[in-house]
Amino acid sequence: MKNVIKLQTKSTKPTNLLSLRLFSFIFLSTTYLSFSQEIKKDTTKINELDAVLVSAIRVDSKTPVTFSNLNKKELKSRNLGQDIPILMNYMPSVVTTSDAGNGIGYTGIRVRGSDATRVNITINGIPYNDSESQGTYWVNMPDFASSLESIQLQRGVGTSTNGSGAFGASLNMLTDNYSKVSNGEISNSAGSFNSRKNTVKFSTGLMSAETSSAQGFEIAGRLSVLKSDGYVDRASSDLKSYFLQGTYVGKTTLIKALAFGGKEKTYQSWNGIDGETLSNDRTFNSAGMYTDEFGKIRFYDNETDNYQQDHYQLHWNEKFSEKWNTNLAFHYTKGKGYYENYKENADFTDYGLVPLTSEVTTDLIRQKWLDNDFYGTTFSSNYKDKNLNLIIGGALNKYKGSHFGKVIWARFASQSELEDHYYEDFASKTDGNVFAKANYQLTKKISLYGDLQLRNVCYKANSLETGLVNDSFNFFNPKAGLNYDLNSKNTLYFSFARANREPNRDDYSNGTPKPEQLNDFELGWRLTSEKSKWNVTAYYMKYKNQLVLTGALSDVGAPLRENVGDSFRLGLEIDATLYLSEKWLVRPNIAFCTNKNQKYYFQKDGVLQDFGNTNIAFSPNFVAGNCLTFAPSEKLQFSILSKFVGKQFMGNIGSKTSELNSYFVNDLNVSYEILTKKVFKSILFSVLVNNVLDYKYVSNGYYFTYDDTWTSPGSTTTIDGSGYYPQAGINFLAGMTLKF
């Protein structure tokens, strides 16, 4: 829930492009030692039964899909309170941002230039994207990284998954595996901007009548509290979360019951600032600002976002034979909350109030509420023999959402009552799909991949913004590809995938949108040797009626999108793991791309103009960086993490005002682990220094235009402006984790 005002702005000064020449690597992820042993094993392997949870939507090197994995070990030294997108910042083609400027609170992620509404996200195969906005609000799951076993990011369309179609990437998160032995963990961290995180975890281990048995029951859980003042003025966060898991492990059966969720209260930092303020007062936050009756500027102290989200999942995995296994899951998510605003000189009629004799406006405090339910089932069956790996699955999910607004205080209350609703909207969405996909080993060197999905979506809404909506879509999403093993070290792959997706709620508010379609072509090479790993991917993503960000915001601050006819993304991604020695490791990745709207039309100066081929908004042509790791011992590790993001436009017409300058930042991560024999199993010390060179940069913003006839009588002139979200300079987090 966001409410962002529009500000007229000036563009910022160009940044120093020398940083591009200085550094052309990108970090994939921090790694643990020993380096010489790591390349010989798959660090993402999990228990065979537990793997069934995500086998229907995850892939391995036998599938012709572009992907990267991030596991628990790679996360732990940097998991000091920042949100999951920030922890993923160094994966290929990923760009992240933070409203508060320090990675805590509202954060966002883009992959290959596609924003979070176009990245399909699942938790244990259960859809997580909000059904209406299709966005992902990570602030509702604070410290969820502490309960993750691994993350897989499939770039492009990827394989068939549950939920909204993947138009930039799909991200699957697998929660903690069960533990065979009892354990506990206490983790505390603190740092800049009064940030701190306190986490407690436990597991009973498998409880069985036979102590040597690998079967039985396990109960595990986590409690977390996070607080931060934020880099931006008053951009505070007060976050709480929990995770509880009960597991039964049998010889051929795995049953998991999970309950997890979070409660957040964040002071709004969604407004951004204009170019002049960016130069003079980077941390200024206009949220909550008003002028009192004596002409004094004040800030409302409860201009906050408040939301609680609770998730319940039940998974039943059954292994019938060496060749057959199944997974059946049921889920329910409850979300309820509001954001609160102080509004000056609000029109009585906008809030269902009757104007008074002498007054037609009033100062008031409003709350905009969302109360929603999401529930359903997912299922899959997997047959696997020597040459064939076949998965048949699907899902059926239902969403119900109620939107309403309340006035909780007004200077002139008119006829209002405390619990009156000045608007009341309702929406529902049914989403069902079935798919079948298979890998077949045709010869010793060639394997074929096929994937067919049918998806039906029905969306209904009734509000002042969307109007009356009753849309139904039937999508057919075919995918195919092949792997060719040149030898034991080199593999080539090629794939084609089609994806279709429906518009979201804001698209209906902005007009009469069309569904979009993507044809994705991927050509890749993978190399694995004793001293290096290489992944090289060339991709061509051809869109029809792509809903691209215009850079503008609606009257309630939501980013606006529009269908643009034909458009494409063409790129080359390279990532590698280079083992220089027993103590030195380099993990770079680079992405070159061009992202174009074709024959783009836009109304400027009162005339609809053909701008030809233009850059797609928020799509940099170059993203690069590196992780350089030095480990003098198995317990001590130093990593320098570097990220470069090239210049991008916040609009689609190439306006100089809409330019978002390139930036280059470096972080330092140090970890030291002590293995003890008494009380604790280990003590881990971690320090993360972000932006060590104290570079002033902006990672996100917005751009708006409007036609004005007042500035030029007798003609129409287009007025444009931009807003910016500045990120913190040098800052740090330090933590200690006790395991027992």
DSSP line for 164-186? S--SSEEEEEEEPPP-SS-EEEE
Residue 687 reports pLDDT greater than 60: yes
Q: Quick one: pLDDT at residue 718?
A: 75
Cα separation of 623 and 223, whole Å?
A: 36
Using the Cα atoms of residue 670, residue 676, residue 678 and residue 679 in order, give the sign of their dihedral.
Answer: positive
**Model pLDDT for residues 71-82, shown as the tens digit of each residue:** 988 888 899 999
Lowest pLDDT segment from 256-260, 415-419, 450-454, 514-518: 415-419
Cα separation of 163 and 170, whole Å?
A: 10
Residue 4 reports pLDDT greater than 70: no
Q: Quick one: pLDDT at residue 414?
A: 84
Other CB atoms within a 10 A radius of the CB of residue 399 amount to 20
- Could you tell me the pTM of the whole model? 0.91
Other CB atoms within a 10 A radius of the CB of residue 398 amount to 15
Four-CA torsion 123, 127, 128, 134, nearest 10 degrees = 150
User: pLDDT grade, residue 714 (50/70/90)?
Assistant: low
Cα separation of 591 and 734, whole Å?
A: 31
Residue 560 reports pLDDT greater than 90: no
Lowest pLDDT segment from 128-137, 144-153, 421-430, 715-724: 715-724
Q: Quick one: pLDDT at residue 416?
A: 81
Query: Rounded mean pLDDT of 164-175?
Result: 90
Residue 22 reports pLDDT greater than 80: no
Q: Quick one: pLDDT at residue 13?
A: 39
Higher pLDDT, 524 or 679: 524
Q: Quick one: pLDDT at residue 113?
A: 93
Four-CA torsion 522, 523, 528, 529, nearest 10 degrees = -150
Query: Rounded mean pLDDT of 567-586?
Result: 95
Residue 456 tokens, joined: 């039906």
Query: Rounded mean pLDDT of 533-540?
Result: 97
Cα separation of 223 and 113, whole Å?
A: 35
Four-CA torsion 594, 599, 600, 605, nearest 10 degrees = 130
User: pLDDT grade, residue 61 (50/70/90)?
Assistant: confident
Lowest pLDDT segment from 247-256, 293-302, 452-461, 601-610: 601-610
The rounded percent of the chain whose pLDDT value lies above 90 is 72
Q: Quick one: pLDDT at residue 181?
A: 92
**Torsion angles phi and psi, residue 322, rounded to 5:** -65, -15
Higher pLDDT, 180 or 259: 259
Cα separation of 547 and 543, whole Å?
A: 9
**Model pLDDT for residues 394-406, shown as the tens digit of each residue:** 999 999 999 999 9
Residue 3 reports pLDDT greater than 90: no
User: How much is the mean pLDDT over the chain?
Assistant: 89
Residue 212 reports pLDDT greater than 80: no
Query: Rounded mean pLDDT of 37-62?
Result: 62
Query: Rounded mean pLDDT of 118-126?
Result: 93
**Model pLDDT for residues 308-365, shown as the tens digit of each residue:** 999 999 999 999 998 999 999 999 999 999 999 999 999 998 998 888 878 889 999 9
Residue 41 reports pLDDT greater than 50: no
Cα separation values, 310 from 216, 259, 664, Å: 27, 7, 38
Q: Quick one: pLDDT at residue 12?
A: 38
Tell me the helices (H) and strands (E) count for the chain, helix number first.
6, 40
Residue 548 reports pLDDT greater than 60: yes
Residue 26 reports pLDDT greater than 70: no
Higher pLDDT, 707 or 133: 133
Q: Quick one: pLDDT at residue 15?
A: 40
Residue 213 tokens, joined: 């048995």
| ∠ CA 217-69-576, rounded to 5° | 150
Cα separation of 321 and 444, whole Å?
A: 25
Cα separation of 368 and 403, whole Å?
A: 7
What secondary structure does DSSP assign to 664-717, as a single string?
EEEEEEEEEEEE-SSS-SEEEEEEEEESTT----EEEEEEEEEEESSSSTTS-E
Q: For each of the domains in the chain, give its residue range(s) and CATH number, in order of start.
A: 18-739 (2.40.170.20)
